[in-house]
């Protein structure tokens, strides 16, 4: 049995006349009659009783079968619609990784809200992870896309583009005289002790944070490294030293810690959307295209 048999049957059931049903279906009456006969043979039951040569009435079996035929055709139409929407990327799910500063970024949250409004049937599953963890998850297919610190080069099989550029801020213990300055430049903090992220985490940043505020010909004194950004903030707040981070992190309220924008440097913290080079999932491709259209970074 095929869907066409159900379409033929419902047309005849609605018209109760082979000639009118055939005209509606744009086929000949004998062809329609043969199709209905074939359907009755498949079912082993009569669906119609003839009143005249062309007009018919439904049998009891035909009446019950009509209910199921309508339900099946409706389900088939719905399946076709879902398939088409899924192919366009309007339906599906996306596993999205993000670094903490991306989660604190108003720009990123606005894009996610807009994407959900445009694609309400695409589920976004958010997972916070540092950059190198996201690279690994993307390679293992446990993440679909990631918002990471832009690397100096992408791992094999991955690519991406910068979606936002953020100025650097320096986290300063309240008791440090630098905290009294309203304007801070790299030269003001070049001789201060610094807290940096672990070497493993720094791979994702390409060492960009420290390099961004290091004056030419100088090197900053790193006295401690934290396992993650929260450890770094805690160490800074305890008075051990300063640390450099992206603008969204300056919105974190930590007792004993102040943030100042680093002036006098053109370097920025670049946030990238990273994905697999051979991505084929329509919903994921739709998200990638959406974010590319929303990037605040002009292509060079």
Q: CA distances (Å), 91 to each of 79, 271, 282, in order?
A: 12, 27, 8
**CA 150, 154, 157: angle at the middle one, nearest 5?**
140
Q: CA distances (Å), 81 to each of 49, 78, 87, 234, in order?
A: 35, 5, 10, 52
Q: Per residue in 150-161, is it b (16+ CB within 10 Å) or e — as a string?
A: bbeebeeebebb
pLDDT band of residue 88 (cuts 50, 70, 90) is low
pLDDT band of residue 94 (cuts 50, 70, 90) is very high
Query: Using an 8 Å Cβ cutoff, are 174 and 198 in contact?
Result: no
**3-88 shares its CATH topology with 168-267:** no
**pLDDT for the residue 201:** 63
pLDDT tens profile 154-172: 999 999 999 999 899 999 9
* Entry pTM: 0.69
Strand ranges inside the chain, DSSP E: 48-50, 56-58, 91-98, 121-128, 145-149, 158-166, 168-173, 193-197, 221-226, 243-246, 257-261, 269-276
Q: What is the CATH number of domain 3-88?
A: 1.10.10.10
Paired with 243 in beta bridges are: 171
Among 158, 160, 86, which Cα is nearest to 123's? Answer: 86
Q: Which CATH number fits domain 91-165+270-294: 3.40.190.10, 2.120.10.30, 3.20.20.105, 3.60.15.10?
A: 3.40.190.10
Domain extents for the chain? 3-88, 91-165+270-294, 168-267
**CA 201, 204, 209: angle at the middle one, nearest 5?**
85
Query: Using an 8 Å Cβ cutoff, are 170 and 194 in contact?
Result: no
Residue 207 has pLDDT above 60, yes or no: no
Query: Using an 8 Å Cβ cutoff, are 165 and 116 in contact?
Result: no
**pLDDT for the residue 209:** 72
| Topology annotation, domain 168-267 | D-Maltodextrin-Binding Protein; domain 2 (3.40.190)
**pLDDT for the residue 228:** 82
């Amino acid at each position: 049995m095929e869907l066409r048999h159900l379409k033929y049957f419902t047309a005849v059931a609605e018209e109760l006349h082979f000639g009118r049903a055939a005209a509606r279906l744009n086929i000949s009456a004998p062809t329609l009659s043969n199709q209905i006969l074939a359907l009755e043979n498949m079912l082993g039951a009569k669906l119609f009783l003839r009143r005249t040569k062309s007009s018919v009435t439904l049998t009891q079996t035909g009446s019950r079968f009509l209910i199921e035929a309508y339900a099946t055709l409706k389900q088939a139409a719905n399946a076709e619609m879902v398939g088409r929407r899924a192919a366009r990327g309007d339906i599906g799910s996306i596993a999205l990784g993000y670094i903490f500063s991306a989660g604190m970024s108003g720009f990123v949250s606005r894009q996610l809200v807009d994407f959900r409004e445009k694609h309400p049937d695409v589920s976004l599953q958010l997972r916070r992870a540092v950059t190198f963890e996201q690279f690994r998850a993307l390679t293992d297919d446990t993440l679909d896309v990631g918002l990471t610190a832009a690397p100096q080069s992408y791992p094999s099989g991955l690519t991406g583009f910068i979606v936002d550029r953020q100025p650097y801020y320096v986290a300063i213990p309240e008791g440090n005289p630098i905290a009294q300055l309203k304007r801070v430049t790299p030269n003001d903090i070049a001789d201060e002790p610094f807290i940096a992220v672990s070497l493993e985490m720094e791979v994702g940043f390409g060492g960009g944070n420290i390099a961004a505020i290091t004056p030419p010909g100088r090197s900053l004194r790193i006295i401690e490294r934290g396992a993650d950004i929260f450890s770094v903030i805690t160490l800074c707040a305890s008075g051990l030293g300063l640390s450099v981070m992206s603008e969204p992190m300056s919105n974190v309220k930590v007792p004993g810690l102040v943030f100042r924008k680093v002036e006098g440097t053109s370097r920025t913290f670049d946030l990238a959307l990273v994905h697999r080079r051979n991505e084929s999932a329509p919903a994921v491709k739709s998200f990638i295209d959406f974010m590319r259209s929303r990037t605040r970074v002009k292509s060079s």
